[in-house]
């Protein structure tokens, strides 16, 4: 009877992990879809022509790249399948997903600068733009140093052990800054697009309600990602070390 009870606990622990993971995946997909819908319904869709239709790619690329795909890359080592066997394939997956997130983020910057050049608009003057540039710069440094230190074979183990907590810390900081950039960007976009007497932002027209709700969904997504990253029982165990909840997940595989 005790063994059956323990088995149920194992299945429950594994079930809670995957429930959280799949719910988070659905939430991230919803963030992207709602951002696309916002740009399509209220701002005319997309075109790669330097006009405002090109700018509409910016929020989509930023939500998809700097938040959703970035979070997916950060959660690679939380999958129980990554805890056993060689670590190198998971390192490569981690690096490739982060690279994809970085490419999408850079594309998000490209469309903004091309739109501003087309419209002869000044760039990098708002708090949102400063925050975004700092985030992308830190992201680039994080990926490059992560690639050199943790993926290339000639770096010593002691150096990796020394830099790992810093790498993890800045990974969480970049996610936090990315979410802050997205939220400030949504707010800035609404201030520009609803700056009129017929539907001012303060009257909360349908676009404002929709975009604000999308922003709140991004915040909820980020909080859940940070929660999963911080739960010790869902972290990849160090060799020979398991936290209290990790044997349950390992035995459940």
Q: What's residue 215's pLDDT? A: 98
The residue-averaged pLDDT of 103-116 equals: 97
Sign of CA dihedral 185, 190, 196, 201: negative
The residue-averaged pLDDT of 197-225 equals: 93
The residue-averaged pLDDT of 236-244 equals: 55
Given a cut of 90, whether residue 36 has pLDDT beyond it is yes
The residue-averaged pLDDT of 25-52 equals: 96
Q: What's residue 249's pLDDT? A: 47
Q: What is the DSSP string of 84-142?
A: SS-SHHHHHHHHHHHHHHHHHHHHHHHHHHHHHHHTT---S-SHHHHHHHHHHHHHHHH
Q: What's residue 20's pLDDT? A: 84
Q: What's residue 9's pLDDT? A: 54
Q: What's residue 247's pLDDT? A: 47
Residues, the chain: 253
The residue-averaged pLDDT of 65-86 equals: 89
Q: Whole-model pTM?
A: 0.89
The residue-averaged pLDDT of 186-198 equals: 89
| 131-173 pLDDT per residue, tens | 999 999 999 999 999 999 999 888 888 999 999 999 999 999 9
Q: What's residue 4's pLDDT? A: 61
Given a cut of 60, whether residue 244 has pLDDT beyond it is no
Under the banding of pLDDT at 50, 70 and 90, the label for residue 29 is very high
Q: What is the mean pLDDT of the chain?
A: 88
Q: What's residue 253's pLDDT? A: 39
Using a pLDDT cut of 70, give the percent of the chain over it.
Answer: 85
């Amino acid at each position: 009877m005790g063994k059956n009870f323990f088995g149920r606990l194992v299945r429950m622990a594994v079930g809670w992990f995957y429930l959280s993971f799949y719910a988070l995946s659905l939430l991230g997909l919803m963030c992207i879809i709602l951002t696309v819908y916002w740009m399509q319904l209220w701002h005319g869709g997309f075109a790669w022509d330097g006009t405002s239709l090109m700018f509409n790619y910016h929020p989509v690329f930023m939500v998809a790249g700097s938040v959703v795909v970035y979070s997916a890359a950060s959660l690679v080592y939380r999958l129980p399948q990554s805890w056993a066997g060689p670590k190198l394939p998971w390192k490569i997956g981690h690096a490739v997903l982060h690279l994809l997130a970085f490419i999408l983020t850079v594309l998000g910057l490209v469309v903004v600068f091309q739109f501003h050049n087309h419209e002869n608009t000044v760039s990098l003057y708002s708090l949102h733009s400063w925050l975004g540039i700092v985030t992308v710069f830190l992201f680039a440094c994080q990926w490059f140093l992560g690639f050199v230190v943790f993926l290339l074979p000639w770096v010593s183990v002691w150096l990796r052990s020394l830099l790992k907590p810093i790498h993890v810390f800045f990974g969480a900081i970049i996610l936090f800054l990315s979410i802050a950039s997205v939220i400030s960007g949504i707010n800035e976009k609404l201030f520009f697009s609803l700056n009129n007497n017929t539907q001012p932002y303060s009257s909360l027209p349908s676009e404002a309600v929709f975009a604000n709700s999308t922003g709140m969904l991004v915040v909820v997504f980020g909080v859940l990602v940070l929660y999963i990253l911080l739960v010790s029982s869902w972290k990849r165990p160090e060799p020979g070390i398991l936290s209290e909840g990790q044997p349950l997940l390992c035995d459940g595989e």
